[in-house]
Structure 1
Amino acid sequence: MPSELHGIKAADIHAKIRLLIDGMVNIKDTTGEFLLKLEDGRVIDTKGWNDWEWTHGIGLYGIWQYYQLTGDESCLKIIEDWFRDRFAAGGTTKNINTMSVFLTLAFVYEKTRNPIYLPWLEAWAEWAYHDLGRTRFGGMQHTTYNMMNDEQLWDDTLMMTVVPLAKIGLVLDRPHYVAEAKRQFLIHLKYLFDTRTGLFFHGWTFEDGGHNFARALWARGNSWLTIVIPEFIELLDLERTDPPLYHHLRDSLLAQCEALVPLQHPETGLWRTLLDVPEAEGSYPESSATAGFAFGMLKAQRKKYIAGTAFEAPAVLALKGVLANIDERGELMNTSFGTAMGHDLQHYKDIPITSMPYGQAMAIMALVEFLRISSSNDKQGDEIKNEEPSSVPETIYYVEDGVYVAASDRNIMFSGECAAVKAFMIRFFAKYDDDIQWDVKVSWEPLDASCRDGNEASSSGTQME
C-alpha cells in the first residue's frame, strides 16, 4: 500500500493498531468502578478483557477486522482463546448485548469449521430468532443483563444482535435468520430515524403513547448506524440481492453523514457525545463515536455506497482525531462509558469517561478501514485480495502474509515486520526475477526496531542481511 496518505504513514497505523490490541486485552478496572453487579450475585467485568458483555463483543470484532486484513495469526489466537475461556466457564445469560460476540465467532467458524463453535452459534441464533423478547410490531426488545427494557428499541441492537443473526444465517444457510435481520433494520430505522435532522435518536418506547425518550441524538448510538449500515449492505450483498432495501439503507446513511459533517469540530475532528448540544452546555468530545463515524464514512466511500468523495476529508480529520487520542498504553482516551437509555439530556452529559475495550476496537476498525481504502480503490470485499502481480509494469498495492507491497516499474516498497518482510522478499524475487529486466530499488518500512539498518536492496542483488 502507499507508504503515506493524507500525511499518515502506513507503518504508524499498523504500530497503533498493535498497541490498541495490546491495550485492549490488558486493560484493567483497578477501582471496580465499572463492574456490573447483578441481582443473582454475579459481577460482570465490563472493562477488563476476561468477561462477557457487549464491550467484549465489539472488542473481538475489532481484532477480527485486523486479522482479516493481515492474516496475523496472533490476532486469531486472541479471539479463539477468549472463546475457549468463556465457553469453559459455561457461557453467560442470553441478552441483546451478550449476543454481540457471535458476529466474530460466525466469521471464525466460517474459516476454521471448528465443531466446538457450531452448537453455540445454533443455540444463540435460535434464541434470538424465537425467544428474544419482542416489542409491538415485532422489534427486538433491548434486553440487557439487568434490565428488561419492555417495549424499547435501541440503536445498539442492530450492532449487538441483528448483524450477528444475519451472519449466522449466512454461515449456517438459514435464510429465515437473514429475513428477520432485514425486518429488524426496517423496524428500527422507522422508529429511530429523525426526519428533521437526518440523525438517529438513541431509542424508542411503545409505552406512554410512544416517544423517543429524551430525543437524544447521542453520538455513539448514531455511530452504530454508521457502522452497521455499510456492514449489513456488504454482508448480504444487498445492492444485488435486495435493491429496495439497499437504497433505503444507503439513503439513510447518506442523510446521516450529511448531517454529521457540520457538527464535527473543525480542528480536533471529534464529535460531541450529544451531537447537537454545544460543548459549553456539557456535551463533551467523544472518541469512540468519532472512530465509528470515520469507519462508516470510509467504508461507504470505498464500497461506493455513497458516490464521490464528499466525506473523505471529514473521515480523515476524524481519523487524525482518533490517533491523537490513543495514549502510550494503547487506550483510546475520551471514550464514554456504557450508556443506558436517558430520559433527559443531562443523563448523557453525566456519563463518565474511561477507556473501554469497545473504544480500542472502534479505533482499530477505523484504522483498518483507512488501510483498506488507501491500499487500492479497486480492492473490494472483506479482505484485500491476496494476489501477486504477474509482472510489475505499474504501481500495484496489495497485502500478503501481513506484508504490504507497493510495486512499480522502478521501485518496490514493503512494509511489515522484519522477518515477514525478508521471507516475503525472497519468495517475491524467486518468482519475478525473470520478469524484472531493470535495476529496481527495493525498500521497506520496518515495524520493529531490529530491522532499521540495511533496509535497501536491488533486484540485481536480493540477498538480505
Structure 2
Amino acid sequence: MSSITSHGLTAADIHKTIKLLTNNLVNIKDTTGEFLLKLDDGRVIDTKGWNDWEWTHGVGLYGLWNYYTLTLDPETLRIITDWFTTQLSRGTTKNINTMSPFLTLAYLYEETHNKTYIPWLDTWAEWLMHDLPRTKYGGFQHETYNSFNKDELWDDTLMMSVLPLAKIGLVLDRPHYIEEAKRQFLLHCQYLFDPETGLFFHGWKFNSDEESKKTGKLGHNFARARWARGNAWLTIAIPTFLSLLSSLPPTHPSYLPTTSFLFTHLLSLLHAQCTALIRLQTPTGHFTTLLDIPASSGSYPETSATAGFAYGLLLSLRLHYITGPEYVDCAVKALKAVLGEIDADGEVQGVSFGTAMGSDLEHYLRIKVTSMPYGQSMAVMALEEFLRTFI
C-alpha cells in the first residue's frame, strides 16, 4: 500500500527529516570560534553550539517542544529536560534574549509539574516586569548580553520575552503578566508596523526629549529595514499569542474574545503581513533577508526566515486566522524551499547569523551565513506544523 501524501510529501519522510535536524541541532559545533560571543566580564557565550544559554537555544528548545507536543517522543523530551538540567544549574545573566528559554520551560512545567521550575519562572518573570529597563511609554527595552540598546524596540522582543511572559502568566495564574504582554504587543506593533507595505521594520528608537524638540520627531526606524527573520518572529508570535488567550474558557480572567479590539487589531496586521509575503516570495519559495530587496540587488535567500514564515502561515491557516489557497501555496512553497536547504547530515544551509540592529541596509546584506540552532529548530517547527495536515 502506498503512503498517504500531502502536497507530494509523506509523513514518514518528514519525521525522518525532523530526527535528522534534531541530531544536527544538538551537535552543531563552532569549530573556528568565529561565532562565539565574548563578554566584557570574561565570559564566552557559544551561540552556535547547543551547550550554552542564549536566544538561539531558546528558539531551539521551542522547536523541539512543538515536535514533542505532536508526537510525545521521549527522546525529544529528554533533550529538552537535559538542557534545562544543565543550564539552570549554571545560570546566566538576565536580558531580553536569555528570557527566551522560559517559553519552553513554562510548557515543560505545565507538562511535568516539576516544582523546581517554579522559582525560575517566578524570578525571571518578576525581573521582566519590574527590573528590565523600559523605553518611553513602557516598552520592553531590547537589552542583550553586550548591548544596552537604550530606548529601542525590536521585533525580536515579542518572541524572546513577551511570549514567555504570557505563558508564565497562564501557568502561574498571574493575569497581570498577560495584561503586560498585551500592552507590549500593542506598543511594539504601533512603532514597528509599516502600513505602506504590510511588513514590520526591524526596530524603532525613541529620541531623547532634547532630540525630539530639536527635530520635531519622536524617533525613527533606523534603516527602515524590513528584515526577513524579524518579520518571521511576528508571523510566529501573533497567532501563537492570540491562540493562547482566545482558547481559554470564557470565564477565565485572561480570555481574549475574538471580537475584542486587541484580537481584531493583531489579526488585521497578521493578515496584511501574510498578504505581503505572497507578493514577495521568490520563484524558488524562499524569502530574501531583506524582504523587499531582490536577490539581484544583494539580498540573499534566507532559510530561517523562510522556515519561520512557513510555520506561521501553516499555524495561522490551521487556526483559521487566514484562509485561502494562495496562503496554502505560499506556505508549502516555503516549506519545500526549506527542505531543499537541508543537507545529508541534517544541517540547514542558508541561515544568517544573529543580526543586531542596522543603521543602513548594507548591514543586513553583510551578515554571514552559517548553521545555527534556530535555523534547525525553525525548520523543525515548519515541518511539525505541516505534519498536522496528515491528521
Q: TM-score, normalization: structure 2?
A: 0.94
Partner of 2:100: 100
Q: Residue 150 of structure 1: SS of its match in structure 2?
A: coil
Q: Quick one: distance in 2 between partners of 1:9 and 1:87?
A: 38
- Alpha-carbon deviations, 1:198-234, whole Å to 9, x = none? 0000000002540000000000000000000111011
Please tell me whether residue 54 in structure 1 is matched to residue 55 in structure 2.
yes
Partner of 1:86: 87
Residue 307 of structure 1 and its aligned partner are, at CA, apart by 2.9
Q: Quick one: distance in 2 between partners of 1:309 and 1:78?
A: 37
Partner of 2:256: 241
Q: Quick one: distance in 2 between partners of 1:215 and 1:308?
A: 30
Residue 138 of structure 1 and its aligned partner are, at CA, apart by 0.5
Residue 238 of structure 1 and its aligned partner are, at CA, apart by 6.7
Partner of 2:130: 130
Partner of 2:356: 340
Please tell me whether residue 194 in structure 1 is matched to residue 203 in structure 2.
no
Contact 1:238 1:246 in 2 (8 A): no
Q: Quick one: distance in 1 between partners of 2:361 and 2:326?
A: 31
Choose from 279, 288, 294 the match for 2:310: 294
Q: Quick one: distance in 1 between partners of 2:59 and 2:346?
A: 16
Residue 236 of structure 1 and its aligned partner are, at CA, apart by 1.1
Written as runs of structure 1 = structure 2, the 5 A alignment for 1:176-325 is 176-207=176-207, 208=211, 209=217, 210-237=219-246, 241-242=256-257, 243-266=260-283, 268-325=284-341
Partner of 1:381: none
Structure (1 or 2) with the greater helix fraction: 2
Q: Quick one: distance in 1 between partners of 2:230 and 2:247?
A: 23
Q: Quick one: distance in 1 between partners of 2:142 and 2:367?
A: 20
Q: Quick one: distance in 1 between partners of 2:344 and 2:352?
A: 19
**Letter of the aligned partner of 1:307 in structure 2?**
T
Q: Percent identity?
A: 64
Contact 1:220 1:289 in 2 (8 A): yes
Q: Quick one: distance in 1 between partners of 2:63 and 2:286?
A: 20
Q: Residue 194 of structure 2: SS of its match in structure 1?
A: coil
Q: Quick one: distance in 1 between partners of 2:256 and 2:195?
A: 27
Q: Quick one: distance in 2 between partners of 1:120 and 1:142?
A: 21
Partner of 1:43: 44
Q: Residue 274 of structure 2: SS of its match in structure 1?
A: helix
Partner of 2:346: 330
Please tell me whether residue 151 in structure 1 is matched to residue 151 in structure 2.
yes
**Letter of the aligned partner of 2:145 in structure 1?**
Y
**Letter of the aligned partner of 1:245 in structure 2?**
L
**Letter of the aligned partner of 1:64 in structure 2?**
W
Contact 1:135 1:151 in 2 (8 A): yes
- Aligned positions, number: 372
Q: 1:345 to 1:238 in 2, by over 3 A?
A: farther
- Alpha-carbon deviations, 1:316-371, whole Å to 9, x = none? 00000000001112111000000000000000000000000000010000001101
Q: Residue 41 of structure 1: SS of its match in structure 2?
A: coil
Which has the larger displacement, 354-363 or 238-247? 238-247
Contact 1:238 1:245 in 2 (8 A): no
Q: Quick one: distance in 2 between partners of 1:130 and 1:349?
A: 37
Partner of 2:77: 76
Q: Quick one: distance in 1 between partners of 2:332 and 2:343?
A: 19
Q: Quick one: distance in 2 between partners of 1:260 and 1:371?
A: 22
Partner of 1:427: none
Q: Which runs of 5+ in 1 are unaligned?
A: 376-396, 398-465
Q: Quick one: distance in 1 between partners of 2:245 and 2:348?
A: 31
Contact 2:36 2:48 in 1 (8 A): yes
Contact 1:219 1:272 in 2 (8 A): yes
Partner of 1:172: 172
Contact 2:278 2:326 in 1 (8 A): no
Q: TM-score, normalization: structure 1?
A: 0.79
Contact 2:163 2:237 in 1 (8 A): yes
Please tell me whether residue 64 in structure 1 is matched to residue 62 in structure 2.
no
Partner of 2:252: none
Partner of 2:377: 361
Written as runs of structure 1 = structure 2, the 5 A alignment for 1:396-407 is 397=391
Q: 4+ residue stretches of structure 1 with deviation over 6 A?
A: none
Q: Quick one: distance in 1 between partners of 2:370 and 2:278?
A: 26
Q: Residue 45 of structure 2: SS of its match in structure 1?
A: strand
Written as runs of structure 1 = structure 2, the 5 A alignment for 1:8-23 is 8-23=9-24
Which has the larger displacement, 324-333 or 60-69? 324-333
**Structure with more contact order per residue of length (Cα contacts < 8 Å, sep ≥ 6):** 2
Q: Residue 291 of structure 1: SS of its match in structure 2?
A: helix
Partner of 2:111: 111
**Letter of the aligned partner of 2:321 in structure 1?**
Y
Which has the larger displacement, 318-327 or 239-248? 239-248
Q: Quick one: distance in 1 between partners of 2:232 and 2:360?
A: 20
Q: Quick one: distance in 2 between partners of 1:114 and 1:77?
A: 14
Contact 1:301 1:309 in 2 (8 A): no
Q: Which runs of 5+ in 2 are unaligned?
A: 212-216, 249-254
Q: Residue 199 of structure 2: SS of its match in structure 1?
A: coil
Q: Quick one: distance in 1 between partners of 2:247 and 2:319?
A: 12
**Letter of the aligned partner of 2:78 in structure 1?**
K
